[in-house]
Amino acid sequence: MAEEERREVPEVHLEEADIDLRDLRWDDSLVLVIFWVLAFIVFLQFFTRYVLNNSLGWTEEIARFLLIAVTFTGAIMATRKNEHIAVEFVYRWVPRPARRVAQTLIDIVTTGFFAILTYLTFMLSGRTFQMMVSIDVPKSLVYYYVSACFAAMTLYAAWNTWRHLRDKTSRLIDPEAHAAETRTME
């Protein structure tokens, strides 16, 4: 009975894939730096709490704000690469002219959304007078950073809109062409 239940697992051979770093820019390195600072702070928090049994109080708050920074800085990278989540399945069943109209509307709405969020977070930053609990730094700096990230996302979204209008194509308008382009890069 035990032998019948035992199944052979097929061997999996993974080929070494070349890592393509051609699409990285300087602002992507900012995400990496913030991420590793966050990783160090979280490790320090874990080490002092569970190994030394004497937690550093400031690590939790700083880790929270660094996580916010990683999130919004990473969102800049996703906007630049035009890789935010999209419902691509629907695009395959819609005629190409309708896909172009939908892409243009999506680009305009996205750019406007990021611009509005830039304005709102900037206004919120100016109205925030609280200091961080653990260190003597105003919380408004975090909101100003988020506002700057939204401003960068607005610029990249506007650039993507212009590119899509100029080239009359995008990953959503012509998914087959962009899939073939991605395969040739690999």
Neighbours of 132 (CB within 10 A): 16
CA distance 176 to 172: 9
Q: What span, in angstroms and rounded, lies between the C-alpha atoms of 111 and 154?
A: 5
- In sequence order, what are the residues at sequence separation of 6 or more whose Cβ sits closer than 8 angstroms to the Cβ of residue 88? 171, 172, 175
In tens, the pLDDT along 120-152 reads 999 999 999 999 988 899 999 999 999 999 999
What pLDDT does residue 115 have? Answer: 98
- For the cut 80, the answer to whether the pLDDT of residue 23 exceeds it is no
Q: pLDDT per residue over 42-95, tens digit each?
A: 999 999 999 988 888 889 999 999 999 999 999 999 999 888 877 777 777 888
Q: What is the mean pLDDT of the chain?
A: 86
In this model, does residue 5 exceed pLDDT 60?
no
The helix/strand/coil state of 62 is helix
pLDDT in tens, 91-122: 778 888 888 998 999 999 999 999 999 999 99
